Structure 1
């Protein structure tokens, strides 16, 4: 069980991490050189004014369930949108919360949002695996130059049974490639949870 202190500590750490990543996104002299922040998460409410003014591109990569177009992959307007009147699971609000943090750190931030969490017909978050996370990072790698990506934020979690936390070689390789290109990759995942063997 998490307690209020754990949740507050986690939010404080996350804000600090995102603030550090956002510091990389400060535009030099020209708006054309401003870096873009990629957020990989559950989805967003694209009808919010502060989203409309900062959202550069939307992507949807879903393993379980479908994107708004009825497929497993979608790009363009509406791809990351979640109809919040249909949401019954607070996990589906997480993407908008992380987006909100980014805009509080930098109101002029440019954001590309990649949704990797599907939603059931009853409004609950579907499962996802590292496969969709890997596909999201591969998409970032393929589009980093076009979008002038400066940082990637992933507030995601996973369950595992191993004694240690397994990290796939392909995931490590992609993160190394992105960081080698000067793109900060920040991951924060449920620090108040305990691994049980």
Structure 2
């Protein structure tokens, strides 16, 4: 029996193609597609990095009263919605990506619907794969080099093969992966140390776990067989009210990791997808859990490693990395 996946408000949609003048990708720096609730492009720090906005929803509540819209303001919600943590989440995640990589171009895709009352509307898997398919269709247009998805479902089986079957979503992730575009997904905040949330558990998705003070965060989901990468799970963020807030969770680590990936692709464009993954593993701080090794990628380590490579210093020397190996029970 296949479970119907409801992602705390994920989605199904009629996709409508808008007529927009094409952009030549070669003229653009590598960008990330952030799939989340909404973004406040009026915040100065965000506006300068906002390359494009898209709204793909199950409900006809995009700013044009339909299921789909793209262009300036498409992913915006009025501040009254931003007061809710649900809808402010996207703004916070965007600000974290920018604070990690200040020059990062962002294609923000709103995938969470809001009722007039301010309630989060029920959404399903369909919007996830339609959003990923939009990325696939437009990756050249905006030079999208990564997807960051900090939404998910932990409605999983307890069996060894626990991940819900989602053929179309899995196909979209695979197609992006084959183009060298990773889909980074929050592993989830349930404290589950044997399963990661959907869709991070799907083949070729890359779940990102969180570390706190150098250790796997208590809240972070981990699958020892899948969880290859981790990043810091706490950060300062900007809210829709332009106030600074403290954010924590694997949503944070996902944005941090995706922003670091874009930094790597920008600074060392000669690296292939496989070479980029290898580079990160070589500079990562190994974290061992149930005899499986994951890699905590630290921003300062990455910056130093990139600079060293530019100056011809071998990564294998590891002279600039403080390596920490811990056994977590």
Report the TM range for the smaller structure's normalisation: 0.7 to 0.9
Shift of 1:50: 1.3
1:61-119 alpha-carbon deviations (Å, 9 max, x no partner): 11135101100110111110011234453111110111011101111100000001011
Matched, 1:92 2:90: no
Which residue does the alignment assign to 1:176? 174
Q: Structure 2: how far apart are the matches of 1:175 and 1:160?
A: 20
Q: Structure 2: how far apart are the matches of 1:101 and 1:157?
A: 19
Q: Structure 1: how far apart are the matches of 2:47 and 2:128?
A: 25
Q: Secondary structure at the match of 1:96?
A: helix
Question: Unaligned regions of 5+ residues in structure 1, if any?
Answer: 1-30
1:29-69 alpha-carbon deviations (Å, 9 max, x no partner): xx935101100000111111112100111100111351011
Matched, 1:191 2:194: no
Distance change in 2, residues 1:189/1:62 (3 Å): farther
Taking structure 1 as the reference length, the TM-score comes to 0.77
Distance change in 2, residues 1:79/1:49 (3 Å): same
Larger radius of gyration: 2
Distance change in 2, residues 1:130/1:193 (3 Å): farther
Determine if contact 1:43/1:81 at 8 Å carries over to the other structure. Answer: yes
Which residue does the alignment assign to 2:76? 81
Q: How many residues align?
A: 165
Which residue does the alignment assign to 1:12? none
Determine if contact 1:58/1:77 at 8 Å carries over to the other structure. Answer: yes
Taking structure 2 as the reference length, the TM-score comes to 0.47
Q: Structure 2: how far apart are the matches of 1:87 and 1:191?
A: 22
Determine if contact 2:31/2:105 at 8 Å carries over to the other structure. Answer: yes
Question: Unaligned regions of 5+ residues in structure 2, if any?
Answer: 1-25, 196-329
